[in-house]
Structure 1
Amino acid sequence: MANLKVALVGNPNTGKSTLFNLLTGLNQKVGNFPGITVDKKTGFCKLSSGVSAEIIDLPGTYSLYPKSKDESIVFQVLADKTNPSHPDIIILVADATNLRRNLLLFSQVADLGIPMLLVLNMADLAKKEGISVNVNKLAERLGVQVVTISARKLSGIDTLKKAMAHTTLIATQNTTIDARNYAPAAVDAVKEKLGDVSDYYALQVLHQHETLTFLSKQQQEEIETIEVTNGFESVKLQGEETVARYRQLSKILNEVVVDLGAEKKFALTDKIDSVLTHKVWGFLIFFFILFFIFNAIFSWSSVPMDLIEGGFAWLTTSGHEYLPAGVLTDLLLDGVVAGLGGIVIFIPQIAILFALISILEDTGYMARVTFLMDKIMRRFGLSGKSVVPLIGGIACAVPSIMSARNIENWKDRIITIMVTPLVSCSARLPVYALLISLVVPNQNVWGIFNMQGLALMAMYLISILAAILVALVFKFIIKARERSYFIMELPVYRMPRWKNVLLTMYEKSKTFVFEAGKVIIAISIVLWVMSTYGPSNRFEAIEAKYAAIEANSTDSVQLASLERDKSAEKLENSYAGILGKTIEPAIKPLGYDWKIGIALITSFAAREAFVGTMATIYSVESADGEQGELRLRDKIAASKDPVTGLPVFTFATAMSLMLFYAFAMQCMSTVAIVYRETKSWKWPVIQLVYMTTMAYVAALVAYQLLK
């Protein structure tokens, strides 16, 4: 039976979960917090004095002001004394290398009046960076015990257990700010309603009462009345409070922290920032970095992509040669292998994209981009914080839309959610890469920039420009009185953690293959069946037609192409062909034939399915022999319009297709996440309609002008 209930609180990436595992070992379990689907990790440990403790690992958060459902749990648990997880003491885990940021949360939690203990983790890294903390003086200034540990090195854990056992159950910490000063009348009114609570507790309730489940509906309505009556401006007061806390914490840290490398470190950071955040040079450098990234995606990936493409071509040819002929072999090679090959080939490009983005984040440069773009973004109805979801959209729209929770202003957040899917994500990369390789020469410009890389860069810039212009339209359509504030900390520049970069490359590539692969293999199998079979009367007529030609013809050239022509005609009369032919009149003005139409339909579930679909269609169409050995790009490049005899994939068609995929939604996961984040079908429906309309119009104009 536990004698103490202890809550672990801290910023993300401070080693809180590592410490939880060290304290509890195997004696832990995972459940849900009551009424919501947020993980609740609890465990037990024996302290040095024989006292046992129940440890609760609360979700990581930067502040008591929540930006997500996970973060909202922290205040719910700490503020509600009837909550089963409400702690006797709090252990706040802080990163010793970045106390300024971590102590903001400490100061907020401390002002709630629950007994606390401060743990400075990563002491080994702090020492390595020349950071020295006067622990005794810090403990005196804060009014709590302070323990230094290194969870990764397993040092200081026994000392921490002793400190936990001897932490008084009476709060001793000093308050950082006078919470009542921010809204005296409103704070007093809330305290009168709720009884014996602190000023800061009352202030937090004013900010968060709409989402606090421990308040009754009547209490929420009464507090809402207090808020309106006293003109309580939540966002503005949060900003003022944060600035005041940082000001007070700076005084304390100046007394207790000695950073031997700080002057040199910050001086170097300031010098670099004078260039990278410059109003002219900063933007030029940013665009040069984008040029470098997209040039690298094509240049560095060409060799491994050729090897993968050649490997799958050999696998298909060898399979047809050595495996017994039949339906199962055709399904395996022309369905599963062809579809999988269409996605695996792009692993090198995906890995390079995520590696370079990871390096930019690790070095601290991405934070500068956010700062640099804030003034521009505000003109278009966005904030500097919108840059993070927009740039993150280059990887994937789903987590990027979720990251928009960090945008406090409702209007800014909604606009960001509505335009983020326009930014070209990694799922569009295979489509762009295939089409660009077909119509753009693989040549260098000025001996530096690859033309295919420049074309890819242009597609990403078009998507970003479209997102910004659509945001401007929404700025005038969506009405809101709430003003937004932009506060962020710029980290010092650091060398990227190469292990983290490699891990990111691996994890993202793995996720791309397994998540997209499942969809693509499923689509490939269904599509192979639809492309191989059709109405029996049509297939019987085709068999009879070609049997008659074979019996009566003596032309060796005609006989050589007979099997290929029969395969093409069967594909056209298959169930997939019938579907493609049905929608062909609607897409013909865009320059697309019925085969491309099939790919448009299948890629609605996932954009990257376009490549897998084309691989399956052209594998089914190919007869055994010479064309069966051709690579996907060669097959597509060789395809001709049966009426005009011209190539199907001309420059005009490729540009039309790329613009269609640049603007069309075509991602069920994004539709689902927008619904979840907005709690309404209104926004995803509007998004689906406007993006599809944009895609069709842009593709139509591009094809008609370029043909």
Structure 2
Amino acid sequence: MKVALVGNPNTGKSTLFNLLTGLNQKVGNFPGITVDKKVGYCKLAEGRTAEIIDLPGTYSLYPKSKDEGIVFQVLADKSNSSYPDIIVLVADATNLRRNLLLCSQVADLGLPMLLVLNMTDMARKEGIHINVNMLAKRLGIQVVAMSARKNDGLETLKKALANTTNISTQINGVDANLFASEAISAVKQKINIDNDYYALQVLHQHEHLTFFTPQEQQEIEAIEKEFGFESSKLQGAETVARYRYLSTVLTDVIFDTGAERKFKNTDKLDRILTHKFWGFAIFLLILFVIFNAIFSWASYPMDIIEGAFGWLTTVGHERLPDGLLTDLLLDGVVAGLGGIVIFVPQIAILFAFISILEDTGYMARVTFMMDKMMSKVGLSGKSVVPMIGGLACAVPSIMAARNIESWKDRMITIMVTPLVSCSARLPVYILIISIIIPSESVWGIINKQAIALMFMYLVGIAAAVIVAWLMKFLIKAKEKSYFIMELPVYRMPRWKNVALTVYEKSKTFIFEAGKVIIAISIVLWVMASFGPGDRFEKIDQKYATALADTTQNTDHINSLISSEKLENSYVGILGHAIEPAIRPLGYDWKIGIALITSFAAREAFVGTMATIYSVDGGDEDTGTIRERMIASKNSVTGLPIYTFATGISLMLFYAFAMQCMSTVAVVYRETKSWKWPMIQLVYMTAMAYVAALVAYQFLK
């Protein structure tokens, strides 16, 4: 049995899919389309097994994006491998009237279906009571009330699925022939079908339906022209007629005792939080709180983690036998891993705040407020969702741009989203800021380092907006964009959900970034520990006499030996080769190596620094990465390498540079061309170099 989950966005459809299938699921692509296809399997009552297909969320059968277009494509094509035997229409019980619009459309296609009223627990809390039996009787289909988040009602749903074969004959919201009877009759005859509403949808959507041949497309187009079929006008008329019908269906079915109070409170909050002036001021204040917390709250666990890795390295060198294996383990793997794990508290705080803002409904308000500004630079308000998501990671954010209807808006969003500072840049910013900005407070409240961090995030957002404005003139398209979204009612965050999000994101950061960092750390350690020819032997001979002299400071001599060997190693030779190109930016060859490794992943900068400075050796009282970097001197001038000018230059380079192979890959996947990722790589690298060059030359 094939079961398709259909429903509006944010109805808990994906939660229900995960509940039904558990770990027994996979993600592929719908044939010929880059849209993800989520399929899983579950056991129903009476020993039956079902294949569950999670179709993209849509408000109606009329698509506004590539993802939404998949729904009718699957439901209309019996030859499609995903064509369902049963449809489960998932509806939000707190907003049933809107959800039933899609339900009535799907029912008119004449497919077996049942209705799931999800989030019934939340509906009860908000004073919404639904007479489920009366609703089922009026719709002529089974209705299951459940709460997917609480695993409440799952067994009832499985039993209903195992026994559902009926097609609703009760739902008769609209007579399709009232809108275009002659055109519908002609299409039915042309493609040999007997369902009026199916024929009406074909007239509306045939150019997007891949199962029609070019000749059939032309014939349907000719029918449209012959009978003067006006798609947009008729869609509006149908929607009005359906809502009029649904009002009669829901009479004496829904009793909402909390609506007045609920929306009254939401409206009061929105007058402030979406105000033209105070709304933006509050948003900036929230950003200040987030970035201040990232530095202030995370300092204690970070100190503990840093101390733990320092202790582990020291004890390791004391207890383990000297040799290459010990050096590889401690100076390569442990040093590289320590450079990532130390930033987990700050990553966790950032994701906790983002999750809370999304769960309460505030993030939707930010999107709403930014729409007017976005439209002036060639984007729609929907572009804000991927760009805000870019604070976490550009990869899923670029994929989220599929929901933008306009091709031009979608392309510009994809091209500028990587400029928004993601969590991978956070370790770089934090390390550099901790070196060049003192940990002092302004007015005794706001940390200077937090202000610097917020400035870097605002620089990335500003750059994205400016580049989007320029691309508005460079990328040509005839489409007009529009912005429609639903503002949810304010709710208390689900703390369990917040905790789960923080755990999952932190785990992903450690394991995904950790794999890259460890691999790079091992390669770097090997390249830093060996050199061509007999260079290392000559260095040992050079200092042999000094080491034999008992009056000399052997620690200092060993430090000099380590430094010279590092410069003559494979990694040192590579670094010196690129140094002329990066010297105008204020960088030495060690930073050059980090820039190269960062093209695998931005956060590799920290692990690279940890590995290079561990191999480099140094005085005994400069043990941590940060302390070693502060103590490092320019071999020519004798001045510190990490000055204020160099630090700002380096952060600006990382703010603008396209240093993430995964992002390049996903842009290629979404655009189906190497043209766009290559343009992105070139323009972002050029921006990074010029910005870093100007900043260093101006500030030095």
- TM-score, normalised with respect to structure 2: 0.91
- Using the alignment, how far apart are the partners of 1:489 and 1:124 within structure 2? 21
Q: Does 1:288 align with 2:292?
A: no
Partner of 1:580: 575
- Deviation at residue 166 of structure 1 after TM alignment: 6.6
Q: For 2:327, give the aligned amino acid.
A: D
- Deviation at residue 16 of structure 1 after TM alignment: 5.0
| Contact 2:39–2:51 (CA under 8 A) maintained in structure 1 | no
Q: Does 1:459 align with 2:452?
A: no
- Deviation at residue 543 of structure 1 after TM alignment: 1.6
- Deviation at residue 205 of structure 1 after TM alignment: 3.5
* 3-state SS in 1 of match to 2:590: helix
| Contact 1:8–1:55 (CA under 8 A) maintained in structure 2 | no
- Report matched runs for 1:4-153 at 5 Å: 6-11=3-8, 14=11, 16=13, 35=31, 38-43=37-42, 45-46=44-45, 54=50, 56-63=52-59, 64=61, 73-83=70-80, 85-139=82-136, 142-150=139-147, 152=150
Q: Does 1:679 align with 2:672?
A: yes
Q: For 1:168, give the aligned amino acid.
A: N
Match of 1:321 among 315, 318, 323: 318
Match of 1:626 among 620, 625, 640: 620
Q: For 2:124, give the aligned amino acid.
A: K
Match of 1:175 among 173, 176, 196: 173
Q: For 1:583, give the aligned amino acid.
A: I
Relative to structure 1, the CA distance from residue 240 to residue 391 in structure 2 (aligned partners, 3 Å threshold; closer, same or farther) is farther
- Deviation at residue 438 of structure 1 after TM alignment: 0.3
Match of 1:668 among 656, 661, 670: 661
Deviates more, 1:567-576 or 1:73-82: 73-82
- Using the alignment, how far apart are the partners of 1:135 and 1:589 within structure 2? 72
Structure 1: gaps (5+ residues)? none
Relative to structure 1, the CA distance from residue 430 to residue 156 in structure 2 (aligned partners, 3 Å threshold; closer, same or farther) is closer
Partner of 1:411: 408
* 3-state SS in 1 of match to 2:427: helix
Listed one character per residue, the Cα deviations across residues 517-563 of structure 1 (whole Å, up to 9, x for unaligned) are 00000000000000111112222221221124445x67635x44111
Partner of 1:556: 552
| Contact 1:56–1:85 (CA under 8 A) maintained in structure 2 | no
Relative to structure 1, the CA distance from residue 541 to residue 116 in structure 2 (aligned partners, 3 Å threshold; closer, same or farther) is same
Q: Does 1:568 align with 2:563?
A: yes
Q: For 1:621, give the aligned amino acid.
A: D
- Using the alignment, how far apart are the partners of 1:223 and 1:397 within structure 2? 41
- Using the alignment, how far apart are the partners of 1:500 and 1:381 within structure 2? 35
* 3-state SS in 1 of match to 2:587: coil
- Using the alignment, how far apart are the partners of 2:395 and 2:117 within structure 1? 34
Q: Does 1:653 align with 2:646?
A: yes
Q: For 1:165, give the aligned amino acid.
A: N
* 3-state SS in 1 of match to 2:640: coil
| Contact 1:141–1:174 (CA under 8 A) maintained in structure 2 | no
- Deviation at residue 198 of structure 1 after TM alignment: 4.0
* 3-state SS in 1 of match to 2:647: helix
Q: Does 1:344 align with 2:337?
A: no
Deviates more, 1:270-279 or 1:155-164: 155-164
- Deviation at residue 91 of structure 1 after TM alignment: 2.8
Listed one character per residue, the Cα deviations across residues 462-490 of structure 1 (whole Å, up to 9, x for unaligned) are 10000000000000111111111211111
- Deviation at residue 376 of structure 1 after TM alignment: 0.8
Q: Does 1:435 align with 2:429?
A: no
Partner of 2:686: 693
- Using the alignment, how far apart are the partners of 1:238 and 1:19 within structure 2? 30
Q: For 2:685, give the aligned amino acid.
A: T
Match of 2:443 among 436, 441, 446: 446
Partner of 2:604: 609
Partner of 2:354: 357
| Contact 1:589–1:700 (CA under 8 A) maintained in structure 2 | yes
Q: For 2:676, give the aligned amino acid.
A: W
Partner of 1:371: 368
- Using the alignment, how far apart are the partners of 2:11 and 2:502 within structure 1? 23
Relative to structure 1, the CA distance from residue 573 to residue 460 in structure 2 (aligned partners, 3 Å threshold; closer, same or farther) is same
- Using the alignment, how far apart are the partners of 2:230 and 2:466 within structure 1? 30
- Deviation at residue 258 of structure 1 after TM alignment: 1.7
Q: For 2:616, give the aligned amino acid.
A: E
- TM-score, normalised with respect to structure 1: 0.90
Listed one character per residue, the Cα deviations across residues 408-444 of structure 1 (whole Å, up to 9, x for unaligned) are 1111111000000000000000000000000101011
- Deviation at residue 371 of structure 1 after TM alignment: 0.7
Deviates more, 1:218-227 or 1:127-136: 218-227
Partner of 2:270: 273
Relative to structure 1, the CA distance from residue 338 to residue 221 in structure 2 (aligned partners, 3 Å threshold; closer, same or farther) is farther
Q: CA RMSD in A?
A: 3.2
Q: For 1:632, give the aligned amino acid.
A: I
| Contact 1:115–1:172 (CA under 8 A) maintained in structure 2 | no
Relative to structure 1, the CA distance from residue 526 to residue 33 in structure 2 (aligned partners, 3 Å threshold; closer, same or farther) is closer
| Contact 2:53–2:82 (CA under 8 A) maintained in structure 1 | no
* 3-state SS in 2 of match to 1:98: helix
- Deviation at residue 690 of structure 1 after TM alignment: 0.5
| Contact 2:263–2:489 (CA under 8 A) maintained in structure 1 | yes
- Using the alignment, how far apart are the partners of 1:25 and 1:316 within structure 2? 41
Relative to structure 1, the CA distance from residue 328 to residue 230 in structure 2 (aligned partners, 3 Å threshold; closer, same or farther) is farther
- Using the alignment, how far apart are the partners of 2:425 and 2:164 within structure 1? 57
Match of 2:300 among 293, 300, 303: 303
- Report matched runs for 1:524-563 at 5 Å: 524-551=521-548, 556-557=552-553, 559-563=554-558
* 3-state SS in 1 of match to 2:94: coil
Listed one character per residue, the Cα deviations across residues 597-640 of structure 1 (whole Å, up to 9, x for unaligned) are 000000001000000000000000015x615x611110000000
* 3-state SS in 2 of match to 1:38: strand
| Contact 1:640–1:646 (CA under 8 A) maintained in structure 2 | yes
- Using the alignment, how far apart are the partners of 2:75 and 2:205 within structure 1? 13
- Deviation at residue 78 of structure 1 after TM alignment: 1.6
Match of 1:638 among 631, 642, 656: 631
Deviates more, 1:360-369 or 1:196-205: 196-205
Q: For 2:534, give the aligned amino acid.
A: N
| Contact 1:381–1:475 (CA under 8 A) maintained in structure 2 | yes
- Using the alignment, how far apart are the partners of 1:109 and 1:432 within structure 2? 50
Deviates more, 1:461-470 or 1:223-232: 223-232
Partner of 1:589: 584
- Report matched runs for 1:382-421 at 5 Å: 382-421=379-418
| Contact 1:20–1:55 (CA under 8 A) maintained in structure 2 | no
* 3-state SS in 2 of match to 1:97: helix
Relative to structure 1, the CA distance from residue 253 to residue 645 in structure 2 (aligned partners, 3 Å threshold; closer, same or farther) is farther
- Deviation at residue 221 of structure 1 after TM alignment: 5.2
Relative to structure 1, the CA distance from residue 696 to residue 243 in structure 2 (aligned partners, 3 Å threshold; closer, same or farther) is farther
- Deviation at residue 241 of structure 1 after TM alignment: 6.6
- Using the alignment, how far apart are the partners of 2:583 and 2:237 within structure 1? 58
Deviates more, 1:108-117 or 1:62-71: 62-71
- Deviation at residue 114 of structure 1 after TM alignment: 2.0
Query: What is the number of residues matched between the two proteins?
Result: 695
| Contact 1:89–1:169 (CA under 8 A) maintained in structure 2 | no
Q: Does 1:165 align with 2:163?
A: yes
Sequence identity percentage: 69
- Using the alignment, how far apart are the partners of 2:400 and 2:233 within structure 1? 21
* 3-state SS in 1 of match to 2:405: coil
- Deviation at residue 642 of structure 1 after TM alignment: 1.0
